[in-house]
Chains A and B, each alone.
Chain A
Amino acid sequence: TQLLEQSPQFLSIQEGENLTVYCNSSSVFSSLQWYRQEPGEGPVLLVTVVTGGEVKKLKRLTFQFGDARKDSSLHITAAQTGDTGLYLCAGAWYGGATNKLIFGTGTLLAVQP
Chain B
Amino acid sequence: EAGVAQSPRYKIIEKRQSVAFWCNPISGHATLYWYQQILGQGPKLLIQFQNNGVVDDSQLPKDRFSAERLKGVDSTLKIQPAKLEDSAVYLCASSAGPYSYEQFFGPGTRLTVL
Residues of chain A having any CB pair with chain B under 8 Å? 4, 9, 31, 33, 40-45, 48, 88, 90, 92, 95, 97-106, 108
Contact = CB atoms under 8 A, between A and B. Distances in A.
Most buried by B among A98, A102, A103, A106: A98
Nearest to B43: A103
B40 A108 contact: yes
Contact of A106 (B40, B101, B104): B40
- Top 7 A-B pairs ranked by shortest CB distance? A42-B105, A103-B42, A98-B98, A106-B42, A103-B43, A43-B105, A88-B42
A104 B102 CA distance: 16
Interface stretch (B48-56, B64-72, B75-83): B48-56
A41 B103 CA distance: 14
A31 B101 contact: yes
A45 B102 contact: yes
B4 interface: yes
Nearest to A32: B101
Interface size for chain B: under 10, 10 to 19, 20 to 34, or 35 or more residues?
Answer: 20 to 34
B99 A99 contact: yes
Interface in B95-114: 98-108, 110
A41 B98 contact: no
B88 interface: no
A87 to B, nearest CB: 10
A40 B98 CA distance: 27
B41 A99 contact: no
Contact of B102 (A9, A40, A48, A108): A48
A14 to B, nearest CB: 23
A106 B103 contact: no
Given A42-B93, A98-B31, A103 B44 contact: yes
A26 B49 CA distance: 28
Contacts of A44: 105
Contacts of B41: 105-106
